[in-house]
Chains A and B, each alone.
Chain A
Amino acid sequence: MTDNLVELRDLHVRFHGQRNVYAVNGIDLDLKAGETLGILGESGSGKSVTLKTLLRLLPENRTQISGDVRVAGQDVNALQGRALANHRGGVASMIFQDPMLALDPVYTIGEQIAEAVMRHEGASRAQGRARALDMLTRVRIPSPERRLNAYPHEMSGGMRQRAMIALALACRPKLLLADEPTTALDATVQIQILILLRELQAEFGMGMIFVTHDIGVAVEVSDRIAVMYAGQVVETGSVRDIIANPQHPYTRGLLAANLHGAVKGERLQAIPGAPPALETAPNNCSFAPRCLVKQESCEIALPPNVSLSPQRAVRCVHAAPVAAQTSPS
């Protein structure tokens, strides 16, 4: 028995239908209780798909999942019926980019939170309402008593996001999955939500996986970062290591493209080309066509996953100690 809250072992996700998409191609990830992991990647990198496997939210008839998915010791792929319903919202909970789609438009915020508490904990309606009020207070919604009776459309964007967080955390899940929850928000509201999530995570002691395409956002909330590209984790490490000493050429490119501290008038070190379409399973390094330091071997076989320290791994042939000396740009 390990103390990991989440364990992903050799996870593969393939969508079939008119077009085959190899969305996730062999992922190993761990999350300890109370830890925050940021998954960083661009659109199509498989970061949201990975997150959704943890709640079994992918359409079953079009998805082929292989590998081990464990949350709090439970095999998520084996969950059925009642057990699956208890898992969703009880053990692990998810917040989304667009709260308008995640909240039910015909029920008030108070009713929605109360319903979740009644369903999961067998509480009475009054207890559910009391929990709803408590949650709205904890997510710092002003005048929460009044907001209990508000419908989602009556709230502003930032407030809806807070209401969705309150709903997700109402049953005290051990794991919070956040899928780009601040991407649609204005900058001054985004930072409020990030700080709130950080505080709630510490308060409830839950584990959190935070998916984002924005490095700055990942740095604000995460303890560790996993960088994804073409359905694989190409680099993992502590936030400090990833920012100060990125090893994978893709991570370096991303950091350079972030414009933080870029000198005005100077050309940006852009990564050439575009991400692959993933219509076949990768049998070599997916990043090789865009990589400035690729070797012959990169196009022949999958790159090794080089472990640099217990917390740090890089999926690149260059990840030997030699590469550590080249300074990150």
Chain B
Amino acid sequence: MTIESAALLQVNDLTKHFPLSGGFFGRSAGVVRAVDSISFEVAPGETLGIVGESGCGKSTTARLLVNLIEPDSGQVILEGKRVGADMSVRDMRRHMQMVFQDSYASLNPRLTMEDSIAFGPNVNGMARQKALALAHDLLFRVGLEPRRFAGRYPHELSGGQRQRVNIARALAFSPKIVILDEAVSALDKSVEAQVLNLLADLKKELALTYIFISHDLNVVRHMSDRVMVMYLGQVAEIGPVDSLYSSPAHPYTRALLAAMPSMDPDKRTMEAPLAGDPPNPINPPPGCRFHTRCKFAQELCATEQPVLHILPQAHHLAACHAHIPNSGHSGLEGRA
């Protein structure tokens, strides 16, 4: 069965709760609601940015998409085919590859660069010589001279070079989607810019679709067509990058943007937009999960969970009672 949709990737009600052991007589001591019923689509050729603080579930979402963690419930639909039902996980992974933050931990220390890249195609049936030729081609594409780098081991490369190899390896299956989970976060600023340029070039050349996960709002803004803001396992706000950055609606998105260092010594940030740390995703607050830190919170927010709702003045969605007409919330203006 195929599902009609213009989206390349469709995610419906994806959920993952991790039970905590260590309770009385081995009973569960609680549940980490890492990802709680999130839905989104990714159109072919676009870059979806995912932002949020630690514990918001952005990395878990990435791992659920490629089935590195099995979801509790929900569907991942790739090109109209439901992963697990109409398409095997193995087939899905040929189309959807991932690059991780730690470039060193993602590479086998005993394999040379060419072997690391050729390994996947090789075990999937490609002849070794052909796989090695592909590896050399990919090394060249990511800006590493094959003659110099093909025979090297991970410890002989710098962080930026290793991350280029990881990108090359992700491209070995000619995937449609590449998930970049904080892929540039560990790199120095000057090297980060090189890798971002490489990613932009590869996207254009190979007609790739990216899911770009980062905590750096500047990088996400530069890379993404649409942005999804997550908070404690749920989507707070999602929409086109310009609309979301120019008119953020959810109080959490506003706080995130306001927390960015100003870069102008005459306009330093004088007041922190939020107090305290992000709460633990173990047993998150009822109602709107943000209400414990939100200065606009009203009675309604503590009891009722807001759903994503199209914003009247902008072109994107936010899950906030204040923006839902007739919700009973008096809105963000005139208060606080």
Q: Do A and B come from one complex?
A: yes
Chain A residues within 8 Å of B, Cβ to Cβ: 42-43, 142, 156-159, 186-192, 194-195, 198, 213-217, 219-220, 239-240, 243, 253-254, 256-260, 262, 264-265, 267-272, 274-275, 290
B87 at the A interface (CB under 8 A)? no
- What is the chain B residue whose CB lies nearest that of A239? B265
B219–A188 touching, CB < 8 Å: no
The 10 closest A-B pairs by CB, nearest first: A216-B261, A270-B193, A257-B193, A186-B53, A42-B188, A271-B190, A259-B218, A156-B277, A192-B272, A239-B265
B269–A191 touching, CB < 8 Å: yes
Minimum distance in angstroms from A29 CB to a CB of chain B: 20
Q: List 14 A-B contacts (CB under 8 A).
A: A191-B272, A195-B270, A213-B188, A214-B261, A216-B263, A219-B265, A220-B261, A240-B265, A254-B190, A257-B193, A268-B222, A270-B190, A274-B160, A274-B191
A259–B190 touching, CB < 8 Å: no
- What is the chain A residue whose CB lies nearest that of B225? A264
Q: What is the CA–CA distance of A219 and B277 in the complex, to the nearest angstrom?
A: 23
Minimum distance in angstroms from B289 CB to a CB of chain A: 15
Interface with A: B10-18, B111-119, B194-202, B319-327, which one? Answer: B194-202
Number of A-B pairs, beta carbon distance below 8 Å = 123
Q: Which residues of A contact B219 (CB under 8 A)?
A: 259
Q: What is the CA–CA distance of A166 and B264 in the complex, to the nearest angstrom?
A: 28
Q: What is the CA–CA distance of A217 and B268 in the complex, to the nearest angstrom?
A: 10
B278–A253 touching, CB < 8 Å: no
Q: Which residues of A contact B93 (CB under 8 A)?
A: none
A192–B275 touching, CB < 8 Å: yes
Q: Which residues of B contact A198 (CB under 8 A)?
A: 268
State which size class the interface on B falls in.
35 or more
Minimum distance in angstroms from B253 CB to a CB of chain A: 11
Chain B residues within 8 Å of A, Cβ to Cβ: 53-54, 158, 160-161, 188-194, 196-197, 200, 215, 217-219, 221-222, 241, 255-256, 259-266, 268-278
Q: What is the CA–CA distance of A243 and B191 in the complex, to the nearest angstrom?
A: 20
Q: Which residues of B contact A156 (CB under 8 A)?
A: 276-277
Q: Which of B190, B222, B255 contacts A262 (CB 8 A)?
A: B222
Q: Which residues of B contact A268 (CB under 8 A)?
A: 193, 196-197, 222
Minimum distance in angstroms from B155 CB to a CB of chain A: 13
B197–A270 touching, CB < 8 Å: yes
Minimum distance in angstroms from B29 CB to a CB of chain A: 17
Q: Which residues of A contact B161 (CB under 8 A)?
A: 274
New A-B contacts (14) at CB < 8 Å, excluding given A142-B276, A189-B276: A158-B277, A186-B215, A187-B256, A188-B256, A191-B259, A191-B269, A192-B272, A216-B263, A219-B261, A220-B261, A253-B190, A257-B190, A257-B193, A265-B200
B196–A220 touching, CB < 8 Å: no
- What is the chain B residue whose CB lies nearest that of A182? B261
